[in-house]
Amino acid sequence: MLTVFGIRHHGAGSARSLHNALVALQPDCILIEGPPDAGNDLIDYVVNENLIPPIALLVYNPSNLKQAAYYPFAHFSPEWQAMKYGVANDIPTAFMDLPRTLAFSLDLKEKTAGQKIIRFEQVSEEATKEERKIAKDPLGYVAKLAGYEDSERWWDVTFESTNNPSEIFKSILSLMGELRDAVKETPLRELQREAYMRGVIRDAVKEGYENIAVICGAWHSPVLANYQTYKATSDKKFLKGIKKIKTKVTWVPWTYKRIARQSGYGAGIISPAWYELLFDKSDEVTVQWMSKAAHLLRAEGLPASSAHIIEGVRLADSLAALRNLSVAGISELREAAIAILCEGAASPLKLIEEKLIIGDKIGEVPDEIPVVPLQQDLNTCIKSARLTKEKKAFGKVDKKLDLRKTANLAASHLLHRLNILGIPWGTTLENSQHTKGSFKEVWSLEWHPDFAIRIIEAGMWGNTVYEAATNYIFDNKDKQASLAELTQLIEAALNADLKEVIIALTTELTNQSALTKDIFNLMDALPSLVNIIRYGSSRQINLTAVTTVIDQIIPRLCIGLPNACLNIDEDTATNIFDKIIAINRAVHTLNETKHIQSWYATLSKIMGMTANGILVGLSTRILFDKNYIDTEVASTYMHLALSKGNEALFSAQWIEGFLNGSGLLLIHQDNLWQIMDEWLAHLEVERFTEILPVLRRTFAKFSHPERQKMMALAKRGNIKTTIIEQPATVTINQERVDKVLPTLKLLLDL
């Protein structure tokens, strides 16, 4: 006897009904839609108490890791319940879907040829409108007949949120049979899958099993239940000539977030957290959900009392009754929560919706399950670095590391090594208030389950994280096209504490720096080299070679930079502008007198040149901020830059460079304010219109208080000068002021 159970993948109601049906049926063989590549060994692990869903079967091609497939399971997934029942009761249990050994081969074919559609019967032009609707979206058609716009909602209400008896599977089989008859075309891959599954069923019958239970997606159930109406020879034709590709399989942790449809998973469900409650607490699911919502709101500092919970449950149940539902669904619960717990505002619910609707559960896989050696070493490293809690955390978590502590330093090294291997578990928060010293790091951590395939891929570089990261850098050492890329590689190796590669990289750095003539290449490399020196002491690395390279680069850079600023377009000037700021920061971080003096001499040359105005202005500003030139000298250069002998655009660009970062200079240096005020006052209308975009861009970068202060100074006019020269006859022509103020407001964006 063959009994086919058509289910919805990850359907809580399907899982509950299926378990009851299997207990009543007592099958002697269980066949489940899933990858046969897994084999009985991996299925047997489902009764291991340390294998905790959500988890996924990872099937991959060891020769081409881009070919990988995940098969997720939650504990409320019907397939998971079927596996557990079969293994716990010593019933032969196996997967029966098209193996990935064949599917990967078909994937490669479809990339070049495209997916084929087998058309069993042409939909005639005379076909009724109803027939065309069924053919286009069969489940959607049935849902609309039942009064639902969404087929997913209809299925949930009919089969998942309701405590259906085991006989419900007969109704599903009958419904799907009618719909399959109405659909005239099917993708070739689906036909190949179904042909293979029918072959597995035939093999089970030949082996003498008399009470076979088949668990599959509801859509496949009719063609499997009626397997005898299909010829074995015809099914074999669908699978003839497909080349087999060797695969490997293992269990990997998964998350509710990845099971949710919102993640892009085709067989996903809208609310894994809701389905978990529906499976575990079907008799009190409404109360449990509303209580959880109240608890999460209180954790966010929002009021949610027991009375709110009671009223929320009553409203949800009332909405369900009005809609002829046997139990309130997720829609009714959300509406009730917004009305009662959130007092009509949807925004508070959004704070907790991800945990409440999707859920924050992450699965666990025991150490005894076979994995690649790199994964084993990674698990050990995570424990040693005390990052186990962060790996299991839901969403992003910030981790502050003090590199003077052994475990924290190990954590930093591990995270940097994983980044080198292309496994970005963590990113450093460079601008965090906690990273003020070289012994502090703050990381934003978020573990993604699909890192599993990246770990397998990284295993080609070595069996430990340290070895793999070292070999990866050695392999990429000779591929770096520029000096800047090489310095970034050294910085990455330093942060990851890969001692073996530091010497080789610094030797290569010395060679490349000696041969590099491109001034921009040198400018890109210097900040990273200074960072290496800056943080090297905290990691106890000998950086003499890096210091030698810096001593070679800075003089060459100072000699070549002034000429690089001549005859350039605006885009190149902007690029150099950013590089000068970075170089200035790097030189002062080194804090060596010889380099600082050389740098100031270079900026002095640029300050006196007729190069791009933004670069001349920036050089003047840096020298003024560092007290290399005084106010009188700065005023002289400002007079020259804003004189009529220069183009208005040069003057505007000079101001943009000079005022970079802060407008306080104009506010507190009255003579500079007066120079600019006079320049603007005597500027011709045509020239002012030409440079207005540059001026607006400059002043828009100032803080609002700075712009307000400038407006106040403009309204007062040239009061200081007037008081000194004519203390008794101070007058302001308000009419003239009123004409200027609208333009000034536009300039200051007030």
669 & 732 share domain? yes
Within a domain: 115: yes
> What mean pLDDT comes out for the span 418-441?
75
Using the predicted structure, report yes or no on whether residue 721 has a pLDDT greater than 50.
Answer: no
Which range among 54-68, 253-267, 327-341, 430-444 shows the weakest confidence by mean pLDDT?
Answer: 430-444
CA angle 281, 265, 371 (to 5 degrees): 90
Q: How far apart are CA 496 and CA 403, in angstroms?
A: 12
Its domain, for residue 334, covers: 283-358
Write out the DSSP string of 690-750.
HHHHHHHHHHHTS-HHHHHHHHHHHHH-SHHHHHHH-TT-----HHHHHHHHHHHHHHHT-
Per residue in 407-418, pLDDT (tens digit) is: 999 999 999 999
Within a domain: 142: yes
245 & 296 share domain? no
Q: How confident is the model at residue 236 (pLDDT cuts 50, 70, 90)?
A: very high
Using the predicted structure, report yes or no on whether residue 728 has a pLDDT greater than 80.
Answer: no
Measured between its terminal Cα atoms, the distance across the chain in Å is 82
303 & 433 share domain? no
Within a domain: 498: no
> What mean pLDDT comes out for the span 146-166?
83
Last residue of a domain, one of 263, 298, 330: 263
> What's the confidence (pLDDT) of residue 436?
44
Highest mean pLDDT among 73-87, 521-535, 662-676, 712-726: 73-87
Write out the DSSP string of 27-54.
-SEEEESS-GGGHHHHHHGGG-TT-BSS
Residue 394: what residue type?
A: F
Instruction: Report whether 15 contacts 277 (CB < 8 A).
Output: no
Per residue in 533-582, pLDDT (tens digit) is: 776 544 555 667 778 888 888 888 888 888 888 888 888 888 898 999 99
347 & 392 share domain? no
The total domain count for the chain is 4
Q: Is 628 helix (H, G, I), strand (E, B) or coil?
A: coil
Within a domain: 390: yes
81 & 154 share domain? yes
341 & 389 share domain? no
Using the predicted structure, report yes or no on whether residue 484 has a pLDDT greater than 80.
Answer: no
H or E element at residue 467:
helix 465-477
Within a domain: 529: no
Q: What mean pLDDT, rounded, does the chain reach?
A: 84
> What mean pLDDT comes out for the span 682-704?
76
Per residue in 314-339, pLDDT (tens digit) is: 999 999 889 887 778 888 888 999 99
Q: How far apart are CA 204 and CA 223, in angstroms?
A: 17
Q: Which residue has the higher pLDDT, 744 or 36?
A: 36
> What's the confidence (pLDDT) of residue 430?
66
Per residue in 490-519, pLDDT (tens digit) is: 888 888 888 778 777 777 777 777 666 778
> What's the confidence (pLDDT) of residue 435?
46
> What's the confidence (pLDDT) of residue 722?
38
Q: How confident is the model at residue 665 (pLDDT cuts 50, 70, 90)?
A: low
What's CA 541's distance to the chain center, in Å?
Answer: 33
294 & 389 share domain? no
Using the predicted structure, report yes or no on whether residue 204 has a pLDDT greater than 90.
Answer: yes
Within a domain: 416: yes
Per residue in 237-265, pLDDT (tens digit) is: 989 889 999 999 999 888 888 888 877 77
Using the predicted structure, report yes or no on whether residue 662 has a pLDDT greater than 50.
Answer: yes
Compute the radius of gyration of the chain from its Cα atoms.
36
350 & 292 share domain? yes
